[in-house]
A and B are shown apart, each in its own frame.
Chain A
Amino acid sequence: MTASAPQAPVISLRGVVKQYGAVRALDGVELEVAPGATALLGPNGAGKTTMIKLLLGLVKPDAGEARLLGFDPRKPADGVELRRKVGYMPESDCLPPQMNAVELVSTLARITGLSESDAITRAHESLDYVGLEEQRYREIAQYSTGMKQRVKLAQALAHDPPLLLLDEPTNGLDPKGRRHMLELVADLGRAHGKSVLLCSHLLPDVERTCDHVVVLDRGRVAASGALLELTRSQSRSSRVRVAGDVEAFVRELASHGIACERESERVLRVRAPGDDADELFALAGRAGARLEALEEQRSSLDQVFLDVLKNSREARG
């Protein structure tokens, strides 16, 4: 499968509205998703699932235009065609309990258009890739949450789609499982040129895998852009954890006119001169203290997410 044309948006939505009775799930969404790994964030009920269903052509928008890999999900013919090029990993439980993993993945692959033999080989390859070893022959009813998540990813990969829609892939996974899943997602995005739209509540996961971020709130795009830009903090300062003679170090900083705020007993927030911390090390040495941790003050995605939500709620009163 050739990667989609470079830089043409994988997904574009213009003025998309979707109403369920009184609730406006999507309220005029303007969005362009470039190839690569993009995260779709938003509090519960922000419209993420509705948007995904809309992109898959399962739900018709009330207004506005939607394009996915150049297909218009509204047209039935396009709808069927685009679902061949998309791998969807649902957030909720969706695995038929009596089937085993190989049966499920190969059946879904065959439905997508693979021949019998291709479907079986692809099923086993995908299951190898997600690391589901010999349990793949047991009934899904006996699977743990971690194994279920892996089967869900495998079925999305079996037909090697250029675009992956992953809804909360790491939900319910233990740290090992989560790291493995995130590495797979990052590996797919970067090494295999797949475009990934990842919905997640676990922002550290997003930070590890995605380069672009879109924040959705109450059916509208509250913020979107490259991850690094969003998390670049306004003031360039460093957070330092100090050991040894902390007071002497603070006095030393003051004497050199370096502003410093005390976050806690041993953690300071300092505006370092120049763009590296050698000076701080020198001052600490002279004051008989030592630095145990130093990080550029970058607001974590959590912080960004909470701030974006706050302003978008204030903006809309």
Chain B
Amino acid sequence: MSGALLSADQLGRWYGQVVGLSDLTLSLERGVTGLVGPNGAGKSTFLKLVAGEIRPSRGTLEVLGLKPFANAELFRRAGFCPQQEALYEDMTGLEVVRFLMRLHGFSAAEATRRANEALDRVGLGDARKRRVGGYSKGMRQRAKIAQAIAHGPELVVADEPFNGLDPVGRAEMTALFAQAGREGMSVLVSTHVLHEVEALTHEIVLFHRGRLLAQGPVGQVRQLLSRHPRRVELRAREPRRLARALVELDFVLSVRVGPADGRIDVETFELERFFEALTRIAAETRAGVTSLESHDASLEAVFDYLVA
């Protein structure tokens, strides 16, 4: 089914006076999208609206061309991994996923097959027969992801699926979502830990105070932020000599030499010309450059600029 994955028009949702989402107009294409934003920015509310668990208080929302709330057609084609840890404690991992698959209309055998396959895929193969009550936080997250992908949905909505996973688990789940994306499944993942999103996708949507602040590949979003100069961090054995030469360049805004560790922070509006000039100056001054890094491209920097 072509067309936009989802589109929201002046979407709003609040709980009493507490505003979850104030006024969101957004449309997303298929593929893997990272949803980032500070605590309380409205990510969870938005995901619950997309998953059809709650109704908008204002505005309209269409997912896969459908009105999401309590829409059986959407539930057939989408999987939801909620934020809360709750699971059926007294059932085993296999029983939980198989039961939920049966609700999708699969036969007993088909449900069991899909449950086993999903559990293997998230790495819960050997724990499938154990009671969920005994699962660690990481295992619970994997079980929740398993029930969201077991019925082979077109869209998976996951609310902070990496919360509580150790680095091994995190790496595996990121790979799983990336693979799902490659297999044509659209994935909408919200997370706090930005370096996870960068590993998973370049397409980000940034929420803040219940509104859409930015959307698109990280790099391009950074370009739009012209009002913020680009920051480059250098380290050299003789920082002062190098700094004196750099200050001469007319497109360099400021140079700050760190007190002890030979660090130089440079702010400039034209990054490319700066790198060209640096290559020349470093060769001439032989100031012993040991590291060169430009922070701005990282999502965290973009996040700070926008959310500051």
| Docked complex Cα distance between A137 and B160 (Å) | 29
CB pair B279 A173 closer than 8 Å: no
Determine the chain A residues whose CB is within 8 A of the CB of B288 once the complex forms: 275-276, 278
CB pair A291 B280 closer than 8 Å: no
With beta carbons under 8 angstroms apart, the residue of B38, B170, B279, B280 that contacts A174 is B38
| Docked complex Cα distance between A302 and B38 (Å) | 25
CB pair A172 B163 closer than 8 Å: yes
Determine the chain B residues whose CB is within 8 A of the CB of A302 once the complex forms: 167
CB pair A281 B290 closer than 8 Å: no
Cβ of B110 within 8 Å of any chain A Cβ, yes or no, is no
| Docked complex Cα distance between A276 and B168 (Å) | 34
| Docked complex Cα distance between A220 and B57 (Å) | 53
| Docked complex Cα distance between A247 and B236 (Å) | 27
| Docked complex Cα distance between A196 and B286 (Å) | 41
CB pair A43 B168 closer than 8 Å: yes
Number of A-B contacts (CB under 8 A): 114
CB pair A172 B294 closer than 8 Å: no
CB pair B283 A281 closer than 8 Å: yes
Determine the chain B residues whose CB is within 8 A of the CB of A173 once the complex forms: 39, 192
| Docked complex Cα distance between A285 and B40 (Å) | 49
1/0 per residue A280-305: CB within 8 Å of B?
01101100011111111000001001
Cβ of B257 within 8 Å of any chain A Cβ, yes or no, is no
Cβ of B276 within 8 Å of any chain A Cβ, yes or no, is yes
CB pair A146 B293 closer than 8 Å: no
Q: Give the contacts of B52-66 with A (CB-CB under 8 A).
A: none
Cβ of A6 within 8 Å of any chain B Cβ, yes or no, is no
CB pair B290 A176 closer than 8 Å: no
With beta carbons under 8 angstroms apart, the residue of A204, A284, A293 that contacts B279 is A284
Q: Which of A144, A202, A204 has the most CB of B within 10 A?
A: A202
CB pair B289 A278 closer than 8 Å: yes
Give the nearest-CB partner of B139 in chain A: A44
Tally B residues with Cβ within 8 Å of A: 45
How distant is B163 from chain A, measured CB to nearest CB, in Å? 6
| Docked complex Cα distance between A169 and B139 (Å) | 20
Q: Give the contacts of A27-50 with B (CB-CB under 8 A).
A: 42-45
1/0 per residue B277-308: CB within 8 Å of A?
01110110011111111100000100110010
| Docked complex Cα distance between A176 and B280 (Å) | 37
Cβ of B252 within 8 Å of any chain A Cβ, yes or no, is no
With beta carbons under 8 angstroms apart, the residue of B139, B164, B194 that contacts A175 is B194
| Docked complex Cα distance between A233 and B170 (Å) | 23
Cβ of A145 within 8 Å of any chain B Cβ, yes or no, is yes
1/0 per residue A159-173: CB within 8 Å of B?
000000000000111
Give the nearest-CB partner of B38 in chain A: A174
Give the nearest-CB partner of B277 in chain A: A290
Cβ of A277 within 8 Å of any chain B Cβ, yes or no, is yes
Determine the chain A residues whose CB is within 8 A of the CB of B286 once the complex forms: 278
CB pair A201 B282 closer than 8 Å: no
CB pair B279 A290 closer than 8 Å: yes
Cβ of A306 within 8 Å of any chain B Cβ, yes or no, is yes
How distant is A252 from chain B, measured CB to nearest CB, in Å? 12
Cβ of A95 within 8 Å of any chain B Cβ, yes or no, is no
With beta carbons under 8 angstroms apart, the residue of B137, B164, B287, B290 that contacts A275 is B290
CB pair B292 A243 closer than 8 Å: no
| Docked complex Cα distance between A176 and B164 (Å) | 19
Measured CB to CB, the residues of B under 8 A from A are: 37-41, 136-139, 160, 163-170, 192-195, 236-237, 272, 275-276, 278-280, 282-283, 286-294, 300, 303-304, 307
Question: Could you list 28 A-B pairs, sorted by A, with CB under 8 Å?
Answer: A43-B166, A44-B137, A44-B165, A44-B169, A145-B39, A171-B164, A172-B163, A173-B39, A175-B38, A177-B38, A201-B167, A202-B193, A276-B288, A277-B289, A278-B286, A281-B282, A282-B283, A290-B276, A290-B279, A291-B275, A292-B292, A293-B293, A294-B290, A294-B293, A295-B293, A302-B167, A306-B168, A309-B168
- Apart from A171-B164, A293-B293, A294-B292, what are 5 other A-B pairs with CB-CB below 8 Å? A45-B136, A175-B192, A203-B167, A243-B275, A276-B236
Nearest first, the 3 closest Cβ-Cβ pairs linking A and B are: A282-B283, A281-B282, A276-B288
